[in-house]
Structure 1
Amino acid sequence: MTKLSVNINKIATLRNSRGGDLPNVVQFAKDVQEFGAQGVTIHPRPDERHIRYQDAYDLKPVVYTEYNIEGNPIPKFMEMVLELKPTQVTLVPDSIDALTSNAGWDTIKYKDFLSEVIQEFKSNGIRTSIFVDPEKQQIEGAAKTGTDRIELYTEAFAHHYGLGNSQAIVPYTECAELANSLGLGINAGHDLSLENIAFFKANIPELLEVSIGHALISESLYLGVEQVIKSYLQKLK
């Protein structure tokens, strides 16, 4: 079964909009695990507009499933990850002003940089993953960095699938097959939803984990958090 890691950034966004502590991100992380989620994902950004760096520390004692911290490996981010030692760190090439993640790494251009960062994290017992576009040369480049896994950036798939183009899955399937042959674990995320997740999983061989936040939280407004998590788990079997 593919694991479901719930990205709780949107809970922090809602909390920050009122300046208090409601909803509480720590309690939400406890709850999604109780409801069956097999991981918790956060993506702190330098301006801390949703998840704050302090949240990352506050969550550490309560995440008893997989703890995945995403972000651009700037010095402050690396220092935090090395101190917390989460289950996994996912490297994302966000610019400081990015509204959301919008591209994968150029693993060829940044091979030396990524290799150095990955070696630092792996030497501290932290599993590594690189956010990548579904392009074969980027998968090959990722393998040369020494990363444990890749995370396929799925926005393009989700967009075209929503328009009725099921062929949008083809480059993802091909990249997954290549990644498997190169010994890379496969994660995926961005705009995956209850509408497209079952089709995506069915076409991605050896899909280990999906990280879902925006859609899951939005769907939960209508269906309830516990029911939505159970629905994802059923579709990921």
Structure 2
Amino acid sequence: MLLGVNIDHVATLREARYSLLPESSNAEPSPMEAAIDAKEGGADSITIHVRGDRRHMQDRDAFEIAANCPLPLNLEMGVTDEMLELALKVKPEFVCLVPETREEVTTEGGLDVRGRLDEVLACVKALQEASIKVSLFIDPDLPQIEASAKTGAEMVELHTGCFANAGDDVVGLEVSRLIEASKTAHAAGIQVNAGHGINYANVARLFEVPHLAELNIGHTIVSRAMRVGFRNAVSEMKEAMSGYPD
């Protein structure tokens, strides 16, 4: 199981001080440096989300990381013409289509592929024509998986937020949802990834979910890095994931 490290919150910290001084030589921390540190810690890919309001990652970050980090870049983006234009310029290895609203603090819930099928289909087609592989960030619901299969996207990323926030009395039900969703997507020939709210404590519970190819994890790694450094935080997560059955 591979580890994609989301470094958005490195940019969040930078923007807290330097959003009005983007060209300042003092602007820190650097998402580019975090990407390199993640690689040194054992990351398999780097995930960033350039949002419509540019609240953390900026366009220049996407271009810099794509050009200078030797790991594959996974660009999360909303299904909009603006973001599609950016993706076609950046040319990341992967794009993950996500829902996006300005009111949310972070992405909450999966993309409604079923309800936006024509729109998502057109976006997937345009990205694939540019040789960019596409993932759809969806809730672990069978109708969304069925709709995702219709788009021709190579991957889905199962939203694990409900699992991560579930209490002890219901977490088993959320794991069961993920198991069923993963089996269904895998049977449809779709690569299965997962992400949102996964941390050092709960990651082992995901070992019950078959066919997971990659976990995309960010907040907990950035938080841990404040104590042990970025490379060590990534290395610790890789170690925590190492028990996933082949």
For Structure 1 versus Structure 2, the TM-score category normalised by the shorter chain is over 0.9
Distance 2:72 2:212 in 1: 16
Please tell me the residue identity of whatever aligns with 2:90.
L
Q: Deviations over 1:73-110 (max 9, x none)?
A: 21221111111111100000111332111121222221
Does the Cα contact within 8 Å between 1:134 and 1:171 map onto a contact in 2? yes
1:168 equivalenced with 2:167 (yes/no):
no
Q: Specify which of 216, 219, 222 is matched with residue 217 of structure 1.
A: 222
The residue that corresponds to 1:152 in the other structure is 158
Q: Specify which of 12, 31, 36 is matched with residue 30 of structure 1.
A: 36
Does the Cα contact within 8 Å between 2:79 and 2:120 map onto a contact in 1? no
1:79 equivalenced with 2:78 (yes/no):
no
* TM superposition shift of 1:114: 0.8
Residues 1-237 of structure 1 aligned to structure 2 (within 5 Å): 2-19=1-18, 20-160=26-166, 165-200=171-206, 202-237=207-242
Point out where structure 1 has 5 or more consecutive residues left out of the alignment: none
Does the Cα contact within 8 Å between 1:91 and 1:130 map onto a contact in 2? yes
Structure 1 pair 64/163, CA: closer, same or farther in 2 (3 Å)? Answer: farther
Calculate the TM-score normalised by the size of structure 1. Answer: 0.94
* TM superposition shift of 1:145: 1.0
Does the Cα contact within 8 Å between 2:157 and 2:193 map onto a contact in 1? yes
* TM superposition shift of 1:162: 6.3
More deviation, 77-86/216-225: 216-225
Calculate the TM-score normalised by the size of structure 2. Answer: 0.91
Question: Percent same amino acid among aligned pairs?
Answer: 31
Please tell me the residue identity of whatever aligns with 2:17.
R
Distance 2:76 2:168 in 1: 26
Please tell me the residue identity of whatever aligns with 1:126.
I
Does the Cα contact within 8 Å between 2:41 and 2:233 map onto a contact in 1? no
Q: Deviations over 1:36-65 (max 9, x none)?
A: 111110001112111111111111112212
Please tell me the residue identity of whatever aligns with 2:238.
L
Does the Cα contact within 8 Å between 2:109 and 2:161 map onto a contact in 1? no
Distance 2:193 2:180 in 1: 14
- CA RMSD for the aligned pairs? 1.5
Does the Cα contact within 8 Å between 2:34 and 2:230 map onto a contact in 1? no
Distance 1:57 1:182 in 2: 34
Distance 1:125 1:39 in 2: 17
Distance 1:182 1:203 in 2: 20
Does the Cα contact within 8 Å between 1:105 and 1:130 map onto a contact in 2? yes
Point out where structure 2 has 5 or more consecutive residues left out of the alignment: 19-25
* TM superposition shift of 1:163: 6.7
* TM superposition shift of 1:136: 0.8
More deviation, 141-150/98-107: 98-107
Does the Cα contact within 8 Å between 2:44 and 2:72 map onto a contact in 1? yes
Please state whether the residue corresponding to 2:67 is helix, strand or coil: coil
Distance 1:110 1:214 in 2: 28
Q: Deviations over 1:148-194 (max 9, x none)?
A: 10011111000115677333200000000000000011111110001
Structure 1 pair 94/182, CA: closer, same or farther in 2 (3 Å)? Answer: same
Please tell me the residue identity of whatever aligns with 2:100.
D
Structure 1 pair 164/107, CA: closer, same or farther in 2 (3 Å)? Answer: closer
Please state whether the residue corresponding to 2:158 is helix, strand or coil: strand
